Structure 1
Amino acid sequence: MKTLIEKIKETENFLKDRVDFKPDIGLILGSGLGTLANEIESPIILKYEEIPNFPISTVEGHEGKLYFGYLEGKKVVAMQGRFHYYEGYTMKEVTFPVRVMKSLGIEMLLVTNACGGMNKELYPGALMLIEDHINFMGYNPLIGTNYNELGPRFPDMSRAYDSELISLAERVAQNLEIEVKKGVYAAVSGPYYFSRAELRMLRNIGGDTIGMSTVPEVIVANHSKIKVLGISCITDMAIADEIESISHEQVVEVANKTRPKFIKLVKGILNEVYL
């Protein structure tokens, strides 16, 4: 059986044979937000099933393609769709693309998601910059053998989201007249929308939004010394005493409607960022 290091190297070599530049920025595009990848110039596009050791995305709104190219003049690698723990993948499989992005040379990861809002100041269609997170998924991608060449045994997660990138995103949003909020993302395993009692608990312990992704990738990015900026698209309100029935189709629909300002914000951030 191949080790994690061997799998990373195998995938890295496969991609380097097909891509002639080193990406500086990685993008993970969540439910309904993947069309940002269509803005990438001179793209090289690979389906996940073509890439050694990559899982296959099985969720609606996740196209399952890896893009290499230029966005706002920056060299990027973008995941059009991610993997989730609830799909049956291990946490190491869920976060494997982040390991590969690091091996290819990225210094920054911009991770996005569609999620529910638990803070009454949020609303469907709002954009939130993630300041911190709560890992309520019941597992951690760093459990198991630690390879020192990938990162330390006990990484510090007290500043998982880069404060300078958050400030940059706020400044760009203000210049573009796009309202953004800031808050804490609570990650759960899914695959169901939480009960009222569970939502009340997560709100009481400090969660502003709730979703089923992002945190595993952010943990591995920090373990790998990659700067992280997280943006959540609020697609529904998950307030315990006011919750209404919600479906994944509704989540994707709201994300699609929010997409224009999301794309405008991300492109504005990439235009301003310097690594």
Structure 2
Amino acid sequence: MSELIQRINAARDYINSKALITPAIGIILGSGLGGLVADIDDRVEIPYADIPDFPVSTVEGHHGRLILGRMQGVPVVAMAGRFHYYEGFSMQRVTFPVRVMKALGIHTLLISNAAGGMNAAFKVGDLMIIRDHINLQPEHPLRGRNEDALGPRFPDMSEPYARTLIDTAKKIAADSNIPVHTGVYVGVQGPTFETRSEYKFMHIIGGDAVGMSTVPEVIVAAHAGLKVFAMSVITDIGIREEENVITHEEVLEAAAAAEPKLTRIFRELVKTISY
């Protein structure tokens, strides 16, 4: 048994010792989007610092707790706070929690993030369902010797975001009178926000929104055979020519304002997923 699998199993066993539940769905909550945990019933909260080999988030708006319980009657495990490459973690460390959630039993992963908009049709506070991504991050989470027990050497990325979940989420949004876009997410390293020229470049190559997370987690989820749904809250519009100074505080504020809409879609989506 490899060292990585031993570490995954140690984290899994510790979590199982604290919460007697086998989650079917994993949820990763982005900057300022942790309010969904209030919808988790009978929840057990485990600080990341207590879980063997788990990183500890250093970013404001990421609370640093793993939460297990039931949402709409479905057993779930949620990360209130995620990890980023720019914090100094390796990509293997950034994506370690996805491996652990898979070991806990999940078959589906739902992801949220805050992102900058590059599509002229977007405005601050809009929601974008991610239909595909472009990876511009400088490191790859699958670099190195492949662990065959975790997934194939060359995983297919033709449909990293499940079309069935996208279609269901769009119907939920329409039934709830919540406008949503679909688009392509560009993953970058950070932690700087993008220059105007970088925004334009990424829009030219096919991007609709840009952020500093999500892509590594989705790659590892695909490697592990998980179905994925992801949604961005557009917290700033970087493609405008006029002055557009972006701060993390403004990102958190915009995310918090849009959170009830995202939470409703996630909550209703969970109800449709069998376990």
- Name the TM-score class by shorter chain: over 0.9
Checking the alignment, whether the CA contact within 8 Å between 1:188 and 1:211 is kept in structure 2 is yes
Q: Distance in 2 between matches of 1:18 and 1:98?
A: 18
Task: Report the AA paired with residue 229 of structure 1.
Answer: F
Q: Please, what TM-score do these two structures have when normalized by structure 2?
A: 0.98
Shift of 1:262: 1.3
Mean Cα deviation higher: 130-139 or 256-265: 256-265
- Matches of residues 1-275 of structure 1 in structure 2 within 5 Å? 3-239=3-239, 241-242=241-242, 244-275=244-275
Aligned partner letter, 2:20: D
- The 3-state SS of whatever aligns with 1:17 is helix
Contact 1:28 1:111 in 2 (8 A): yes
State the shift of 1:35 in Å: 1.4
Ranges in structure 2 where 5+ consecutive residues have no aligned partner:
none
Post-superposition shift, 1:80?
0.2
C-alpha distance in structure 1 between counterparts of 2:243 and 2:167, whole Å? 32
Cα RMSD (Å): 1.0
Alpha-carbon shift at residue 243 of structure 1 (Å): 5.5
> How far apart, in 1, do the equivalents of 2:257 and 2:232 lie?
14
SS at match of 2:18: coil
Percent identity, aligned pairs only? Answer: 48
Question: Are the equivalent residues in 2 in contact too, given 1:114–1:232 (CA < 8 A)?
Answer: yes
Alpha-carbon deviation of 1:183?
0.2
Q: Could you tell me how far apart the structure 2 residues matched to 1:240 and 1:194 are?
A: 12
AA at the equivalent of 1:253: E
Distance in structure 1 (CA, Å) of the matches to 2:129 and 2:274: 19
* Deviation by residue 1:119-151 (Cα, 9 ceiling, x = unmatched): 011111111100000000111100011100000
SS at match of 2:125: coil
Superposition misfits of 4+ residues, deviation over 6 angstroms? none
Task: Show structure 1 runs of 5+ residues with no match.
Answer: none
1:166-194 Cα offsets, whole Å, 9 max, x none, are: 00001111111111100000010000011
